[in-house]
Amino acid sequence: MPARVPITVAYGDGIGPEIMTATFRVLEAAGARIEPEVIEIGEKVYLKGVSAGIEDSSWDSLRRTKVFLKAPITTPQGGGFKSLNVTVRKTLGLFANVRPCASYSPFIATRHPGMDVVIVRENEEDLYAGIEHQQTDDVVQCIKIITRPGSEKIVRYAFEYARQNGRKKVSCMTKDNIMKLTDGLFHRVFDEIGVEYPEIEKEHWIIDIGAARLADTPNIFDVIVTPNLYGDIISDIAAQITGSVGLGGSANIGTSCSMFEAIHGSAPPIAGKNVANPSGLLLAAVMMLIHIGQPEEAEAIHNAWLKTLEDGVHTQDIYNQAVSKEVVGTQEFAEAVVARLGKRPTTLKPVDYDKTSKAALTIPDPVLQPAKKKEIVGIDVFLHRRQCSADSIAEVMVPVGGDAFELKMITNRGVKVWPDGMPETYCTDHWRCRYMARAGSVTHAQILELMGRVLDTGLDFIKTEHLCSFDGTPGFSLGQGQ
Ligand code: NAD
């Protein structure tokens, strides 16, 4: 008998304890070989004064087991509490959020019968890096970080997931027609890595039309890989249009640890009433079993669960007069699944997991690329100045360029307002002065000399950005209208 796999379990808040109990009933009956270590997270921990909602001792368990089955938690109202999900994701380096979204027509009403899409969302970077600043009275910014290693990890994970799960196509969604450098890098990495998976169809969608098609015609998609913010939005769209957000499970995968949970919250109004649907957490547990190399048990549970839906044994939230035969409570639903272990659905498509994959899907660390030849070819100097014109700023800032730099343009909110600005352009108190090196490149010392001259003007400079080229290719965007 193979050894039991230690996993860390949190029963959470609200409906968490009941749906976790129901999930464990099914896991045990299916013969899942797991050894749970229970930790406390969420409301009680927050209210003890631990602002992260998780105590230090719990991290020890997570580091030891590397597998976390988590019920939803309640985030207390009011300030000062950090999102536990974001903390766990970032601390454990859970770079991939995987959310299968399938419809179960005719047993769950949906406009999209046959939908079966998996969203693979990048989980650590993008605007979620959380780097925000207020720069002037009127202007705040949030820095969007996309990295090559981060993009490589998530894109490779999506292709490996597709390969392991017999999926035929991976669609990448970005907005690289606008964000040519950040989203452009993600798209380029997708094209580069895609070559290594010749058997899988590949395509790229601009996120706006891609999201619209996902909401309208989801059947054209199979696996979708996308940066963090777009993934956050489209994974909720995809779950919603299957007919019930209450049925979704998700996996947060890292290179060493992984977390599995339902996509819904702790639903306080129905807590303790034995009416919550345990399906989201149960399907997350199915993903966990595949991850820890127990695909037979995962398949048995998933097919028994499909058969339960098909037999019309439903919890209150998915009750539908036309197809439901019996409304059951949380624990009775679990018993109905247990009673069907070993059976397969006949109307819904049964699942067939790859029984040869006995280990978690792993991807190699990204290969360190050779360093490129980097040159500083200019600098953007940002100023805070209220109620003034671009011409008045140019008057002061042109001479500042000196022998080494030439002031090429001034932009406001990214739009060129000098030279030859348009009178219609609305200007805030946030100005960017773009200097280019007269001789093609400059040194750090020349930049400090330039900034010394900016200081002498008495203007309020708020930040600078070096303009660099890498192997001769400019690593910065042009101003709109430049
Ligand atoms: P929610 O998902 O808890 O509830 C939304 C609606 O869906 C409610 O009407 C609820 O009754 C219903 N619902 C949710 N899960 C259900 C289930 N399994 N069976 C039957 N009905 C179900 O979202 P919310 O009300 O916005 O949030 C409640 C709490 O959950 C908040 O404190 C929030 O911060 C937290 N939350 C936690 C997580 C997490 O831990 N991953 C995720 C989302 C929200």
pLDDT given for residue 293 in this prediction: 93
SS3 214: helix
Please state, in angstroms and rounded to a whole number, the distance separating the CA atoms of residues 171 and 391: 47
Query: Cα-flanking dihedrals φ and ψ of residue 11, to 5°?
Result: -80, -15
Give the predicted TM-score (pTM) of the model.
Answer: 0.93
Ligand 1 pocket residue status of 210, Cβ below 6 Å: no
86 or 322, which is more confident?
322
- Residue carrying the six token digits 């352009």: 425
151 touches 186 (CB < 8 A): yes
Higher pLDDT, 285 or 365: 285
Asked which of 60-74, 403-417, 447-461, 468-482 is least confident by mean pLDDT, the reply is 468-482
> Residue 470 in contact with residue 374, Cβ under 8 Å?
yes
Ligand 1 within 6 A of CB of 75: yes
374 alpha carbon – ligand 1 mean position (Å): 49
Which of 74-78, 89-93, 206-210 is most confident?
A: 206-210
User: In terms of pLDDT, which residue wins out, 358 or 62?
Assistant: 62
The pLDDT tens digits for 124-135 are 999 988 889 999
Taking the centre of ligand 1 as the mean of its atom positions, its distance from the CA of residue 14, in whole angstroms, is 9
Note whether 31 and 58 are within 8 A (CB): no
Mean pLDDT for the stretch of residues 102-112: 93
Q: What percent of the chain has pLDDT over 90?
A: 85
Which SS3 state, helix, strand or coil, does residue 47 take?
Answer: helix
Q: How many angstroms separate the alpha carbon of residue 71 from the centre of ligand 1?
A: 11
First CA to last CA distance, the chain: 69
Mean pLDDT of the chain: 94
Q: What are the Cα distances from residue 288, in Å, to 100, 166, 167?
A: 13, 18, 19
Sign of CA dihedral 319, 321, 324, 329: positive
Domains annotated on the chain, with CATH: 5-339 (3.40.718.10), 374-474 (3.30.70.1570)
Question: 313 and 297 in contact (C-beta within 8 Å)?
Answer: no
> Which pLDDT does position 86 carry in this prediction?
82
Instruction: Output 206 or 3, whichever has higher pLDDT.
Output: 206
Answer yes or no: is the C-beta of 74 below 6 A from any ligand 1 atom. yes
Q: What is the mean pLDDT of residues 141-167?
A: 95
Supply φ then ψ for residue 473, to 5 degrees: -95, 125
What is the reported pLDDT for 452?
98
Identify the pLDDT of residue 481: 66
pLDDT at position 1, please?
59
Q: From the CB of 235, is ligand 1 less than 6 Å away?
A: no
- Find out whether 390 and 410 touch, Cβ atoms under 8 Å: yes
Residue 130: predicted pLDDT? 81
Residue environment code for 347-361, b if the CB has 16+ CB neighbours within 10 A, otherwise e: ebeebebeeeeeeeb
Q: What is the pLDDT of residues 298-322, one digit of tens each?
A: 999 999 999 999 999 999 999 999 9
With 0-12 CB in 10 A as exposed, 13-18 as middle and 19+ as buried, what is 371?
exposed
The residue nearest atom 43 of ligand 1, judged by CA position, is: 265
d(C-alpha 210, C-alpha 112), whole Å: 16
For the chain, what is the total number of helices (H) and then of strands (E)?
13, 20
pLDDT digits (tens, 9 = 90+) for 254-283: 999 999 999 999 999 999 999 999 999 999
**What secondary structure does DSSP assign to 62-93, as a single string?**
HHHH-EEEE---PPPSSTTPPPHHHHHHHHTT
CA nearest to 343, candidates 367, 370, 307, 371? 307
User: Which tens digits make up the pLDDT trace of 23-34?
Assistant: 999 999 999 999
Which residues does 350 contact at the CB level (< 8 Å), separation at least 6? 303, 306, 344
Q: Report the C-alpha gap between 433 and 431 in whole angstroms.
A: 7
Give yes or no for residue 266 CB within 6 A of ligand 1. yes
Does pLDDT of 478 surpass 90? no
Nearest CA to ligand 1 atom 31: 74
Cα of 282 vs centre of ligand 1, distance in Å, is 16
Q: What is the mean pLDDT of residues 56-61?
A: 93
pLDDT at 226: 98
* CA–CA–CA angle 226, 467, 388 (5° rounding): 100
Q: What per-residue confidence (pLDDT) applies to 70?
A: 97
Name the residue with the closest Cα to ligand 1, atom 38.
265
pLDDT digits (tens, 9 = 90+) for 218-245: 999 999 999 999 999 999 999 999 988 8
Q: Is 72 in the pocket of ligand 1 (CB under 6 A)?
A: yes
SS3 letters across 448-475: HHHHHHHHHHCCEEEEEEEEEEECCEEC
**Ligand 1, atom 23: closest residue by C-alpha:** 265
Measured from the Cα of 268, ligand 1's closest atom is: 28
Under DSSP, the state recorded for 137 is S
Residues of the chain above pLDDT 70, percent: 99
Cβ atoms of 263 and 245 within 8 Å: the answer is yes
Burial classification of residue 393, based on how many CB atoms lie within 10 Å of its CB (0-12 exposed, 13-18 middle, 19 or more buried): buried
What residues contact 356, with CB distance under 8 A and at least 6 apart?
none
